[in-house]
Amino acid sequence: MKKVIRPHAEEKYKTELEALKKIDVGEKPIGWELSPKSVVDYIIGTELPDGTKIEAKYIGQRRAIEIAVATLATDRALLLLGVPGTAKTWLAENLAAAISGHSSLLVQGTAGLGEEALRYNWNYARLIAEGPTEKALVPSPVMIGMQKGKMVRVEELTRIPSDIQDVLITILSEKVLSIPELNWEIAAVPGFNIIATANDRDRGVNELSSALRRRFNTLIMPLPEKLEEEVKIVSSKIESNPIPFKAAAEHDTLKEIERLVTIFRELRNGITEDGTLKVKTPSGTLSAAEAISAVNSGLTMSHFFGDGRLSAKYLIDSIEGAVVQDRIQDQLIWNEYLETVVKERAEWRDLYEAALKKT
């Protein structure tokens, strides 16, 4: 198989899914590849009786995943809501992979999305030659999912214009998609459902109409509650990175990750971890996802230009890149943080000096 940068979840975790399927004795909803309980196990991670280790795909509350999986087993659709970088897309992809066996039925929501992306399109050459026929029809991922009984993902639902969003109402309530040109309709088979994600940080998005909203069960994706949890998320993602950093990771990378996550959390929450000092909050999101990419970029730079170790020098570069989004405001906030927090921590001396050298 050809090597790709980022394989689909069902490819990447193929052995895990197969092992789970082998021992799964739970009752499966029609059209599902796994029983709901095994889906939860796949997401949360566990060790199977035969020794196969199921990696944790989502680190956080089991309760939230149970609600997500149970929702998909009823006839309501699932809406994952949260600020950027809370693993919404990642969770959606893995849910689809575990439930339907593949995660590629995807509609990416954009402001310019047309109705046909959710319904169907035409092969115009054929349409002109033959008139409206079944063969001239180009189905959308949603339509394919309905026909085959699979999970369909809709990314960034709130970016889709409201009138286009509402196409989903009939699909979700009546479970049919009518094709008036052919006097025909597609009725969804069991196993079909929609997993949508939306981001509640951006303004100027298209709020869901209440009619559509009530077809969805909403799961609010939290930011990691504790420092340890977030460090675990970031470091597990670094370790599963395909670029070979193994040697570097052996060094006290974990310690560096902890520092970085601490900085991100403090700036994000506006208060130091020990709760004694107020800190100004920069404009960027600074979620776990940003932390992961900051560590990755630090490691990459170190790998190519340094000794491969995630030292203060590279760490400070990548942190600053993530924190300072707005040249003036954020730079001020970052400098103030350096002076009031980083400087005061004796064991962070190297970070402070690295930052000073830059300026």
Partner 1 sequence: MVKIFGIRHHGPGSANSLKNALSNWKPDCILVEAPEEVNQIFKLFSLSGVTLPVACLLYAKNDPSKAAYLPFTVFSPEYQAIVYSQQFQVPIYAIDLPMAFQFAEEKSIMAFNQSSSTNDWELDPLGKMAELAGYQDYERWWEVHFEEEEGSIAIFETIANMMMVLRPHDLKEVNGMNIWREAWMRKQIRKAVKEGHKKIAVVCGAWHVPRLLDYDTIKEKEDNAIIKGRSKEACAACLIPWSYEQLTPSQGYASGVHAPFWYESLYFHPKQAVVRWLVKAARLLRKKNLDASSAEVVEAVALANALAGLRSLKIPGLKELEDAALTVLCQGKRAQLDAIYNNLLTNNRVGKIPPEAPQIPIQKDFLKNVKSLRLSSAIKNDQVHRKDLDLRKPHQLQISIFLHRLLLLEIDWGRKLMGKTLAQGSFNERWSLKWHPRILIQIIQSGRWGKTIIEALLEKVKQKIDSAKNPIQLAKMLDNVIKADLKELVQPILRKMQQTGVGQRDTESQMQILNELIPLRRYGDVRNVDQNILDWLIRDLITRICLGIKPFVFQLNEEQSEHFFSAIHVTNHLMGFLEDPEHQVRWINALQGVLEQKESAPKIRGGVLRILQDKGTISLERAKTYFALELSRTEELENIALWLEGFLYGSAGMLLYQPSLLGLLDNWISALDQSRFMEVLPIMRRTFSKYSRNEKQRLLRKVIAQTVEDLEEVEWDEKRLKAVLPSIQSWFS
Could you tell me the CA-to-CA distances from 97 to 7, 25, 65, 153 in Å, in that order?
12, 19, 15, 11
* Spatial separation of the C-alpha atoms in residues 324 and 147, rounded to whole Å: 47
In the complex, the smallest distance separating the C-beta of residue 293 from partner 1, rounded to whole angstroms, is 27
Residue 256 phi, psi (nearest 5): -65, -40
Question: In terms of CB distance, is 74 or 110 closer to partner 1?
Answer: 74
Other C-beta atoms closer than 10 Å to the C-beta of 211 total: 12
**Binding footprint of partner 1 on the chain (CB under 8 A):** 27, 36-37, 40, 63, 66-67, 69-71, 73-76, 81, 210, 213-214, 217-220
In the complex, the smallest distance separating the C-beta of residue 200 from partner 1, rounded to whole angstroms, is 10
In the complex, the smallest distance separating the C-beta of residue 73 from partner 1, rounded to whole angstroms, is 5
Question: In terms of CB distance, is 147 or 218 closer to partner 1?
Answer: 218
Question: In terms of CB distance, is 218 or 269 closer to partner 1?
Answer: 218
Question: In terms of CB distance, is 69 or 107 closer to partner 1?
Answer: 69
* Spatial separation of the C-alpha atoms in residues 53 and 287, rounded to whole Å: 28
Residue whose structure tokens are 């943080």:
337
Pairing of strands 193-199, 77-82: parallel
Could you tell me the CA-to-CA distances from 206 to 110, 156, 164, 173, 200 in Å, in that order?
11, 10, 10, 21, 11
Could you tell me the CA-to-CA distances from 87 to 11, 237, 258 in Å, in that order?
19, 11, 19
Q: How far apart are the first and last CA of the chain?
A: 48
Contact 19, 41 (CB under 8 A): no
Question: In terms of CB distance, is 66 or 258 closer to partner 1?
Answer: 66
Question: In terms of CB distance, is 72 or 143 closer to partner 1?
Answer: 72
In the complex, the smallest distance separating the C-beta of residue 82 from partner 1, rounded to whole angstroms, is 10
In the complex, the smallest distance separating the C-beta of residue 163 from partner 1, rounded to whole angstroms, is 22
In the complex, the smallest distance separating the C-beta of residue 92 from partner 1, rounded to whole angstroms, is 15
